[in-house]
Structure 1
Amino acid sequence: MSHYLLSGYAEVSPQVLKDRLKYPSSGCFLVQGMGPLAVHGHAKFGRLLFAHGAGAGQQSFFMRQFVTSLADRGIQVLCIDFPYMQQMQETGKRRPPPPIAQTLAQFAEWYALLDSLFEGPLWIGGKSMGGRVATLFASQQLASEPSSSTVPGVVVAGYPFHPPKTPHKLRLEHWPAITCPMLILQGERDPFGRQEEVEGYALPANAQLSWLKDGDHDFKPRRVSGLTQTVLIDEATQVAASFVRAYSQDLKEESNTLV
Protein backbone atom coordinates (compact mmCIF):
# COMPACT_ATOMS: atom_id res chain seq x y z
CA MET A 1 0.00 0.00 0.00
CA SER A 2 1.26 3.49 -0.84
CA HIS A 3 2.62 5.98 1.66
CA TYR A 4 -0.37 8.25 1.09
CA LEU A 5 -3.02 5.57 1.54
CA LEU A 6 -1.31 4.53 4.76
CA SER A 7 -1.38 8.19 5.81
CA GLY A 8 -5.15 8.33 5.45
CA TYR A 9 -5.57 9.72 1.93
CA ALA A 10 -8.75 8.48 0.24
CA GLU A 11 -8.30 7.38 -3.37
CA VAL A 12 -10.72 9.12 -5.74
CA SER A 13 -11.06 9.88 -9.43
CA PRO A 14 -11.02 13.51 -10.59
CA GLN A 15 -14.72 13.16 -11.40
CA VAL A 16 -15.57 11.94 -7.88
CA LEU A 17 -13.38 14.59 -6.22
CA LYS A 18 -16.04 17.25 -6.74
CA ASP A 19 -18.58 15.29 -4.69
CA ARG A 20 -16.03 14.41 -2.01
CA LEU A 21 -15.09 18.04 -1.52
CA LYS A 22 -18.65 18.94 -0.60
CA TYR A 23 -18.09 17.57 2.92
CA PRO A 24 -16.22 17.91 5.09
CA SER A 25 -14.43 21.19 4.38
CA SER A 26 -11.08 19.51 5.08
CA GLY A 27 -9.81 16.16 3.83
CA CYS A 28 -6.96 14.25 2.18
CA PHE A 29 -7.39 12.65 -1.24
CA LEU A 30 -5.23 10.61 -3.60
CA VAL A 31 -6.54 11.79 -6.96
CA GLN A 32 -6.10 9.20 -9.69
CA GLY A 33 -3.70 10.35 -12.40
CA MET A 34 -2.74 13.42 -10.36
CA GLY A 35 -1.52 12.59 -6.87
CA PRO A 36 -2.14 13.66 -3.26
CA LEU A 37 -4.32 16.63 -2.41
CA ALA A 38 -4.87 17.87 1.14
CA VAL A 39 -7.65 20.41 1.76
CA HIS A 40 -7.32 22.50 4.91
CA GLY A 41 -10.02 24.71 6.37
CA HIS A 42 -13.02 26.62 5.09
CA ALA A 43 -12.89 29.36 2.42
CA LYS A 44 -14.32 32.14 4.54
CA PHE A 45 -12.15 34.81 2.90
CA GLY A 46 -10.39 33.00 0.05
CA ARG A 47 -8.92 29.81 -1.37
CA LEU A 48 -5.24 29.11 -2.12
CA LEU A 49 -3.47 26.37 -4.11
CA PHE A 50 -0.13 26.11 -2.29
CA ALA A 51 2.86 24.08 -3.56
CA HIS A 52 5.81 22.74 -1.55
CA GLY A 53 9.51 23.56 -1.76
CA ALA A 54 12.23 21.57 -3.53
CA GLY A 55 13.34 19.42 -0.61
CA ALA A 56 10.22 18.74 1.47
CA GLY A 57 6.59 18.02 0.60
CA GLN A 58 3.26 19.09 2.01
CA GLN A 59 3.76 16.98 5.16
CA SER A 60 6.90 18.84 6.26
CA PHE A 61 6.88 20.72 9.57
CA PHE A 62 6.94 24.13 7.90
CA MET A 63 4.15 23.30 5.47
CA ARG A 64 1.92 21.81 8.17
CA GLN A 65 2.35 24.76 10.49
CA PHE A 66 2.04 27.43 7.79
CA VAL A 67 -1.02 25.84 6.21
CA THR A 68 -2.79 25.16 9.52
CA SER A 69 -2.23 28.73 10.70
CA LEU A 70 -3.48 30.15 7.41
CA ALA A 71 -6.56 27.91 7.44
CA ASP A 72 -7.34 29.09 10.98
CA ARG A 73 -7.50 32.61 9.56
CA GLY A 74 -10.23 31.79 7.06
CA ILE A 75 -8.16 30.90 4.00
CA GLN A 76 -8.81 27.41 2.63
CA VAL A 77 -5.50 25.89 1.51
CA LEU A 78 -5.17 23.12 -1.06
CA CYS A 79 -1.78 21.38 -0.89
CA ILE A 80 -0.26 19.05 -3.48
CA ASP A 81 2.89 16.95 -3.88
CA PHE A 82 4.61 16.97 -7.26
CA PRO A 83 5.42 13.52 -8.78
CA TYR A 84 9.11 13.56 -7.82
CA MET A 85 8.13 14.29 -4.22
CA GLN A 86 5.62 11.45 -4.33
CA GLN A 87 8.47 9.13 -5.33
CA MET A 88 10.56 10.45 -2.43
CA GLN A 89 7.73 9.71 -0.02
CA GLU A 90 7.18 6.23 -1.42
CA THR A 91 10.85 5.17 -1.53
CA GLY A 92 12.28 7.17 1.36
CA LYS A 93 15.12 8.29 -0.93
CA ARG A 94 15.87 11.91 -1.71
CA ARG A 95 15.90 13.03 -5.32
CA PRO A 96 16.24 16.42 -7.01
CA PRO A 97 13.26 18.09 -8.64
CA PRO A 98 12.95 17.85 -12.43
CA PRO A 99 13.43 20.86 -14.72
CA ILE A 100 11.22 23.72 -13.64
CA ALA A 101 9.19 23.59 -16.88
CA GLN A 102 8.03 20.07 -16.03
CA THR A 103 6.96 21.06 -12.54
CA LEU A 104 5.19 24.12 -13.96
CA ALA A 105 3.17 21.90 -16.33
CA GLN A 106 2.13 19.69 -13.41
CA PHE A 107 1.10 22.75 -11.40
CA ALA A 108 -0.99 23.95 -14.36
CA GLU A 109 -2.81 20.61 -14.47
CA TRP A 110 -3.71 20.88 -10.80
CA TYR A 111 -4.88 24.46 -11.20
CA ALA A 112 -7.09 23.58 -14.17
CA LEU A 113 -8.72 20.76 -12.23
CA LEU A 114 -9.28 22.61 -8.97
CA ASP A 115 -10.29 25.93 -10.52
CA SER A 116 -13.05 24.10 -12.41
CA LEU A 117 -14.53 22.74 -9.18
CA PHE A 118 -15.10 25.92 -7.21
CA GLU A 119 -17.21 28.98 -7.82
CA GLY A 120 -14.86 31.53 -6.26
CA PRO A 121 -11.38 32.64 -7.34
CA LEU A 122 -8.41 30.35 -6.68
CA TRP A 123 -5.22 32.05 -5.49
CA ILE A 124 -1.86 30.37 -6.03
CA GLY A 125 1.42 30.25 -4.17
CA GLY A 126 3.98 28.07 -2.53
CA LYS A 127 7.03 27.62 -0.39
CA SER A 128 10.34 28.49 -2.10
CA MET A 129 10.43 26.46 -5.35
CA GLY A 130 6.65 26.07 -5.17
CA GLY A 131 6.36 29.84 -4.99
CA ARG A 132 8.63 30.25 -7.98
CA VAL A 133 6.45 27.81 -9.93
CA ALA A 134 3.35 29.78 -8.94
CA THR A 135 4.86 33.06 -10.17
CA LEU A 136 5.85 31.42 -13.45
CA PHE A 137 2.30 30.16 -13.87
CA ALA A 138 0.89 33.61 -13.15
CA SER A 139 3.25 35.17 -15.70
CA GLN A 140 2.29 32.73 -18.46
CA GLN A 141 -1.40 32.13 -17.84
CA LEU A 142 -2.91 34.87 -19.97
CA ALA A 143 -0.60 34.13 -22.88
CA SER A 144 -1.08 30.35 -22.86
CA GLU A 145 -4.69 30.10 -21.67
CA PRO A 146 -6.52 33.31 -22.58
CA SER A 147 -9.93 31.65 -22.12
CA SER A 148 -9.26 30.51 -18.56
CA SER A 149 -10.10 32.42 -15.42
CA THR A 150 -7.52 34.92 -14.26
CA VAL A 151 -5.34 34.13 -11.26
CA PRO A 152 -6.41 36.64 -8.59
CA GLY A 153 -3.09 36.72 -6.74
CA VAL A 154 0.07 34.98 -5.56
CA VAL A 155 1.39 34.29 -2.04
CA VAL A 156 4.97 33.05 -1.63
CA ALA A 157 6.74 31.95 1.55
CA GLY A 158 10.47 32.41 1.00
CA TYR A 159 10.97 33.29 -2.67
CA PRO A 160 14.24 31.89 -4.10
CA PHE A 161 15.45 35.14 -5.66
CA HIS A 162 18.75 33.41 -6.44
CA PRO A 163 20.61 30.23 -5.45
CA PRO A 164 22.55 30.58 -2.18
CA LYS A 165 26.02 32.11 -2.65
CA THR A 166 25.26 33.06 -6.27
CA PRO A 167 23.40 36.36 -5.94
CA HIS A 168 24.00 37.29 -9.58
CA LYS A 169 21.74 34.46 -10.86
CA LEU A 170 18.43 36.20 -10.33
CA ARG A 171 15.09 34.51 -10.95
CA LEU A 172 13.09 37.62 -11.72
CA GLU A 173 12.95 37.77 -15.51
CA HIS A 174 9.28 36.71 -15.59
CA TRP A 175 8.03 39.03 -12.85
CA PRO A 176 7.19 42.00 -15.15
CA ALA A 177 4.66 39.75 -16.95
CA ILE A 178 2.69 39.14 -13.73
CA THR A 179 -0.30 41.46 -13.52
CA CYS A 180 -1.99 40.19 -10.35
CA PRO A 181 -1.06 41.16 -6.76
CA MET A 182 1.91 39.30 -5.27
CA LEU A 183 2.87 38.92 -1.62
CA ILE A 184 6.37 37.71 -0.78
CA LEU A 185 6.93 36.66 2.84
CA GLN A 186 10.68 36.67 3.34
CA GLY A 187 13.06 36.14 6.24
CA GLU A 188 15.55 38.96 6.68
CA ARG A 189 18.45 36.45 6.64
CA ASP A 190 17.17 34.23 3.83
CA PRO A 191 20.24 33.03 1.85
CA PHE A 192 18.01 32.89 -1.25
CA GLY A 193 17.43 36.64 -0.95
CA ARG A 194 18.49 38.68 2.07
CA GLN A 195 16.76 41.93 2.85
CA GLU A 196 19.77 44.08 1.98
CA GLU A 197 20.00 42.36 -1.41
CA VAL A 198 16.32 42.38 -2.35
CA GLU A 199 15.83 46.00 -1.41
CA GLY A 200 18.26 46.84 -4.22
CA TYR A 201 16.21 45.04 -6.90
CA ALA A 202 13.85 46.87 -9.25
CA LEU A 203 10.64 44.99 -8.46
CA PRO A 204 7.22 45.62 -10.06
CA ALA A 205 4.72 47.73 -8.16
CA ASN A 206 2.30 44.83 -7.71
CA ALA A 207 4.87 42.89 -5.63
CA GLN A 208 4.58 43.49 -1.89
CA LEU A 209 7.30 42.21 0.44
CA SER A 210 6.79 41.47 4.11
CA TRP A 211 10.03 40.96 6.07
CA LEU A 212 10.17 38.54 8.99
CA LYS A 213 12.63 39.73 11.60
CA ASP A 214 15.83 37.65 11.74
CA GLY A 215 14.17 34.78 9.86
CA ASP A 216 15.99 32.40 7.51
CA HIS A 217 14.54 30.54 4.51
CA ASP A 218 12.23 28.52 6.80
CA PHE A 219 11.48 31.57 8.97
CA LYS A 220 13.76 30.32 11.74
CA PRO A 221 15.29 33.19 13.75
CA ARG A 222 18.43 33.04 15.85
CA ARG A 223 17.90 32.43 19.55
CA VAL A 224 19.43 35.81 20.38
CA SER A 225 16.52 37.49 18.57
CA GLY A 226 14.10 36.37 21.29
CA LEU A 227 11.73 35.10 18.61
CA THR A 228 10.75 31.59 17.48
CA GLN A 229 9.89 29.99 14.16
CA THR A 230 6.32 29.50 15.35
CA VAL A 231 5.96 33.21 16.07
CA LEU A 232 7.31 34.19 12.64
CA ILE A 233 5.11 31.69 10.79
CA ASP A 234 2.09 32.99 12.68
CA GLU A 235 3.06 36.56 11.75
CA ALA A 236 3.49 35.55 8.11
CA THR A 237 0.08 33.90 7.88
CA GLN A 238 -1.58 36.89 9.50
CA VAL A 239 -0.12 39.12 6.79
CA ALA A 240 -1.03 36.61 4.07
CA ALA A 241 -4.65 36.24 5.22
CA SER A 242 -5.07 40.03 5.36
CA PHE A 243 -3.56 40.34 1.88
CA VAL A 244 -5.90 37.77 0.34
CA ARG A 245 -8.89 39.23 2.13
CA ALA A 246 -8.07 42.77 0.98
CA TYR A 247 -8.01 41.69 -2.67
CA SER A 248 -11.06 39.42 -2.37
CA GLN A 249 -13.70 41.83 -1.12
CA ASP A 250 -16.21 40.50 -3.63
CA LEU A 251 -15.72 36.89 -2.50
CA LYS A 252 -18.96 35.94 -0.75
CA GLU A 253 -19.63 33.05 1.57
CA GLU A 254 -21.51 31.32 -1.29
CA SER A 255 -18.23 30.92 -3.19
CA ASN A 256 -17.30 28.12 -0.81
CA THR A 257 -19.70 25.94 -2.80
CA LEU A 258 -18.66 23.95 -5.84
CA VAL A 259 -19.61 24.76 -9.40
Structure 2
Amino acid sequence: MSIEDIAGVAHEPNGTPAGVVMLTHGAGGSRESPLLVRICDEWASHGWLAVRYNLPYRQRRPKGPPSGSAAGDRDGIVEALTLARTLADGPVVAGGHSYGGRQTSMVVAEHAGLVALLTLFSYPLHPPGKPERLRTEHFGAITVPTVFTHGTSDPFGSIEEIRDAARAIPGPVEIVEVTGARHDLGSKSLDVPALAVDAGLSALP
Protein backbone atom coordinates (compact mmCIF):
# COMPACT_ATOMS: atom_id res chain seq x y z
CA MET A 1 0.00 0.00 0.00
CA SER A 2 1.17 3.55 -0.76
CA ILE A 3 0.18 7.12 0.06
CA GLU A 4 -1.68 7.24 -3.28
CA ASP A 5 -3.87 4.31 -2.14
CA ILE A 6 -5.29 6.44 0.69
CA ALA A 7 -5.58 9.54 -1.52
CA GLY A 8 -2.85 11.19 0.52
CA VAL A 9 -0.49 14.10 -0.02
CA ALA A 10 2.87 14.01 1.77
CA HIS A 11 4.69 17.01 3.23
CA GLU A 12 8.34 15.93 3.38
CA PRO A 13 10.73 17.22 6.03
CA ASN A 14 14.38 18.01 5.43
CA GLY A 15 16.37 14.94 6.37
CA THR A 16 15.19 11.74 8.05
CA PRO A 17 11.68 12.09 9.50
CA ALA A 18 11.32 12.12 13.29
CA GLY A 19 8.01 10.30 12.83
CA VAL A 20 4.81 10.33 10.80
CA VAL A 21 1.70 12.51 11.14
CA MET A 22 -1.57 11.39 9.50
CA LEU A 23 -4.35 13.99 9.35
CA THR A 24 -7.78 13.93 7.73
CA HIS A 25 -10.58 16.38 7.06
CA GLY A 26 -14.00 17.46 8.31
CA ALA A 27 -17.39 16.39 7.00
CA GLY A 28 -17.68 18.93 4.19
CA GLY A 29 -13.98 19.15 3.43
CA SER A 30 -11.15 17.23 1.86
CA ARG A 31 -7.41 16.82 2.12
CA GLU A 32 -7.16 20.24 0.39
CA SER A 33 -8.51 22.04 3.47
CA PRO A 34 -6.29 25.13 3.98
CA LEU A 35 -6.09 24.31 7.70
CA LEU A 36 -4.77 20.79 7.03
CA VAL A 37 -2.25 22.11 4.51
CA ARG A 38 -0.90 24.62 7.04
CA ILE A 39 -0.76 22.09 9.88
CA CYS A 40 1.10 19.56 7.71
CA ASP A 41 3.56 22.28 6.63
CA GLU A 42 4.15 23.05 10.31
CA TRP A 43 4.80 19.42 11.26
CA ALA A 44 7.17 19.04 8.29
CA SER A 45 9.08 22.16 9.38
CA HIS A 46 9.69 20.37 12.70
CA GLY A 47 11.16 17.36 10.91
CA TRP A 48 8.10 15.12 10.62
CA LEU A 49 6.64 13.44 7.53
CA ALA A 50 3.07 14.79 7.48
CA VAL A 51 0.32 13.27 5.31
CA ARG A 52 -3.14 14.73 4.71
CA TYR A 53 -5.52 12.19 3.24
CA ASN A 54 -9.11 11.78 2.07
CA LEU A 55 -11.54 9.57 3.94
CA PRO A 56 -13.19 6.78 1.92
CA TYR A 57 -16.44 8.73 1.38
CA ARG A 58 -14.44 11.64 -0.08
CA GLN A 59 -12.50 9.25 -2.30
CA ARG A 60 -15.86 8.12 -3.74
CA ARG A 61 -17.16 11.60 -4.55
CA PRO A 62 -15.46 14.99 -4.60
CA LYS A 63 -18.08 17.03 -2.72
CA GLY A 64 -20.89 16.73 -0.23
CA PRO A 65 -21.32 15.36 3.30
CA PRO A 66 -20.26 11.88 4.46
CA SER A 67 -22.11 9.13 2.63
CA GLY A 68 -22.28 5.46 3.43
CA SER A 69 -21.16 4.15 6.77
CA ALA A 70 -18.92 5.91 9.26
CA ALA A 71 -17.53 2.44 10.00
CA GLY A 72 -16.20 2.39 6.42
CA ASP A 73 -14.45 5.70 7.04
CA ARG A 74 -12.92 4.26 10.21
CA ASP A 75 -11.65 1.28 8.19
CA GLY A 76 -9.94 3.81 5.92
CA ILE A 77 -8.32 5.46 8.96
CA VAL A 78 -7.01 2.08 10.16
CA GLU A 79 -5.49 1.55 6.69
CA ALA A 80 -3.86 4.99 6.81
CA LEU A 81 -2.41 4.43 10.28
CA THR A 82 -1.16 0.98 9.33
CA LEU A 83 0.51 2.50 6.27
CA ALA A 84 2.08 5.22 8.43
CA ARG A 85 4.23 2.64 10.21
CA THR A 86 5.82 1.68 6.88
CA LEU A 87 6.65 5.25 5.81
CA ALA A 88 9.27 6.11 8.44
CA ASP A 89 10.59 5.10 11.83
CA GLY A 90 9.50 6.99 14.93
CA PRO A 91 6.14 7.71 16.53
CA VAL A 92 2.85 7.97 14.62
CA VAL A 93 0.62 10.98 15.31
CA ALA A 94 -2.98 10.86 14.09
CA GLY A 95 -5.92 13.20 14.04
CA GLY A 96 -8.07 15.45 11.97
CA HIS A 97 -10.57 18.25 11.77
CA SER A 98 -14.12 17.85 13.14
CA TYR A 99 -15.67 14.64 11.69
CA GLY A 100 -12.26 13.31 10.65
CA GLY A 101 -10.89 13.88 14.12
CA ARG A 102 -13.89 12.26 15.75
CA GLN A 103 -13.62 9.13 13.58
CA THR A 104 -9.85 8.99 14.21
CA SER A 105 -10.42 9.24 17.96
CA MET A 106 -12.84 6.30 17.75
CA VAL A 107 -10.21 4.24 15.89
CA VAL A 108 -7.57 5.14 18.48
CA ALA A 109 -9.97 4.16 21.29
CA GLU A 110 -10.59 0.80 19.66
CA HIS A 111 -7.02 -0.01 18.55
CA ALA A 112 -4.62 0.64 21.40
CA GLY A 113 -1.03 0.97 20.26
CA LEU A 114 -1.68 2.29 16.73
CA VAL A 115 -0.53 5.84 17.54
CA ALA A 116 1.56 7.74 20.09
CA LEU A 117 -0.52 10.94 20.04
CA LEU A 118 -4.01 12.05 19.05
CA THR A 119 -4.43 15.62 17.75
CA LEU A 120 -8.02 16.85 17.33
CA PHE A 121 -9.05 20.10 15.67
CA SER A 122 -12.53 21.50 16.42
CA TYR A 123 -13.77 18.22 17.91
CA PRO A 124 -17.55 18.13 17.16
CA LEU A 125 -18.62 17.51 20.75
CA HIS A 126 -22.32 17.86 19.92
CA PRO A 127 -24.47 19.18 17.07
CA PRO A 128 -24.90 22.98 17.28
CA GLY A 129 -27.68 23.87 19.70
CA LYS A 130 -27.98 20.28 20.99
CA PRO A 131 -25.56 20.03 23.94
CA GLU A 132 -27.35 16.94 25.26
CA ARG A 133 -26.22 14.87 22.24
CA LEU A 134 -22.62 14.32 23.30
CA ARG A 135 -20.25 12.33 21.08
CA THR A 136 -18.02 11.11 23.88
CA GLU A 137 -19.03 7.49 24.50
CA HIS A 138 -15.55 6.26 23.48
CA PHE A 139 -13.49 8.81 25.44
CA GLY A 140 -12.91 6.42 28.34
CA ALA A 141 -10.91 4.11 26.03
CA ILE A 142 -8.47 6.76 24.77
CA THR A 143 -5.20 6.11 26.60
CA VAL A 144 -2.73 8.09 24.47
CA PRO A 145 -1.92 11.78 25.00
CA THR A 146 -4.59 13.89 23.31
CA VAL A 147 -4.42 17.52 22.18
CA PHE A 148 -7.65 19.40 21.47
CA THR A 149 -7.24 22.60 19.43
CA HIS A 150 -10.55 24.41 19.79
CA GLY A 151 -12.03 27.83 19.10
CA THR A 152 -13.74 29.69 21.93
CA SER A 153 -16.69 30.50 19.62
CA ASP A 154 -17.18 26.98 18.18
CA PRO A 155 -20.91 26.12 18.06
CA PHE A 156 -20.08 22.38 18.24
CA GLY A 157 -18.86 22.76 21.83
CA SER A 158 -17.63 25.46 24.16
CA ILE A 159 -14.19 25.36 25.78
CA GLU A 160 -15.90 24.58 29.10
CA GLU A 161 -17.80 21.67 27.52
CA ILE A 162 -14.59 20.34 25.94
CA ARG A 163 -12.80 20.54 29.31
CA ASP A 164 -15.62 18.68 31.05
CA ALA A 165 -15.78 15.99 28.35
CA ALA A 166 -11.99 15.55 28.25
CA ARG A 167 -11.97 14.51 31.92
CA ALA A 168 -13.32 11.14 30.74
CA ILE A 169 -10.08 10.49 28.80
CA PRO A 170 -7.65 8.47 30.95
CA GLY A 171 -4.59 9.60 28.97
CA PRO A 172 -2.98 13.04 29.33
CA VAL A 173 -4.99 15.88 27.74
CA GLU A 174 -3.91 19.32 26.53
CA ILE A 175 -6.41 21.92 25.31
CA VAL A 176 -5.20 24.69 22.98
CA GLU A 177 -7.70 27.56 23.12
CA VAL A 178 -8.03 29.69 20.00
CA THR A 179 -9.64 32.89 21.22
CA GLY A 180 -12.54 34.05 19.10
CA ALA A 181 -12.23 31.25 16.52
CA ARG A 182 -15.21 29.32 15.24
CA HIS A 183 -15.32 25.78 13.82
CA ASP A 184 -12.86 26.57 10.98
CA LEU A 185 -10.24 27.72 13.55
CA GLY A 186 -9.64 30.89 11.59
CA SER A 187 -7.68 33.49 13.56
CA LYS A 188 -6.14 36.81 12.55
CA SER A 189 -4.00 37.10 15.68
CA LEU A 190 -2.86 33.53 16.49
CA ASP A 191 -0.73 31.05 14.53
CA VAL A 192 -3.03 28.07 15.06
CA PRO A 193 -0.83 25.41 13.35
CA ALA A 194 2.22 26.50 15.38
CA LEU A 195 0.28 26.41 18.66
CA ALA A 196 -1.20 22.98 17.87
CA VAL A 197 2.08 21.40 16.76
CA ASP A 198 4.01 22.83 19.73
CA ALA A 199 1.40 21.35 22.06
CA GLY A 200 1.59 18.03 20.23
CA LEU A 201 5.38 17.85 20.42
CA SER A 202 5.26 18.66 24.14
CA ALA A 203 2.62 15.99 24.77
CA LEU A 204 4.48 13.19 22.98
CA PRO A 205 5.65 10.53 25.44
Report the TM range for the smaller structure's normalisation. 0.7 to 0.9
Match of 1:168 in 2: 132
Indicate yes or no: 2:192 matched with 1:218: no
Q: Contact (CA 8 Å) 1:46, 1:248: kept in 2 or not?
A: no
- Paired residues for 1:45-194 under 5 Å: 45-89=18-62, 93-142=63-112, 149-194=113-158
1:176/1:115 CA distance change after superposition, 3 Å: same
Superposition TM-score, scaled by structure 2 size = 0.86
* Closer/same/farther in 2, CA of residues 75 and 97 from structure 1, 3 Å limit: farther
How far 1:108 sits from its partner (Å)?
0.5
Question: Which amino acid in 2 is paired with 1:126?
Answer: G
Return the alpha-carbon distance in structure 1 between the equivalents of residues 199 and 107 of structure 2: 20
| Distance in 1 of aligned mates of 2:51 and 2:94 | 9
Query: 1:191 deviation in Å?
Result: 0.7
User: By how many angstroms is 1:61 displaced?
Assistant: 2.3
Structure 2, unpaired ranges of 5+: none
Measured on the aligned residues, the alpha-carbon RMSD in Å equals 2.2
1:95 is displaced (CA, Å) by: 4.2
> What TM-score comes out, normalization by structure 1 length?
0.70
Matched pairs, number: 201
Higher Cα Rg: structure 1 or 2? 1
CA 1:160–1:188: 2 relative to 1, 3 Å? same
- Which whole-Å CA distance do the structure 1 matches of 2:132 and 2:105 have between them? 20
Contact 2:42 2:197 survives alignment (8 Å): no
Secondary structure at the residue paired with 1:30?
A: helix
Q: Paired residue for 1:197?
A: 161
Instruction: Tell me how far 1:195 sits from its aligned partner.
Output: 1.9
Q: Any gaps of 5 or more consecutive residues in structure 1?
A: 1-13, 18-28, 143-148, 222-227, 250-259
Equivalences for 1:30-45 in 2 at 5 Å? 30-31=4-5, 35-42=6-13, 45=18
For 1:222-241, list aligned pairs within 5 A.
228=188, 231-232=189-190, 234=191, 236-241=192-197
Structure 2 letter corresponding to 1:212: V
Matched to 1:156, the amino acid is: L
Shift of 1:202: 5.8
Cα distance between partner residues in 2 of 1:197 and 1:51: 24
Alpha-carbon shift at residue 37 of structure 1 (Å): 1.3
Identity fraction in percent? 27
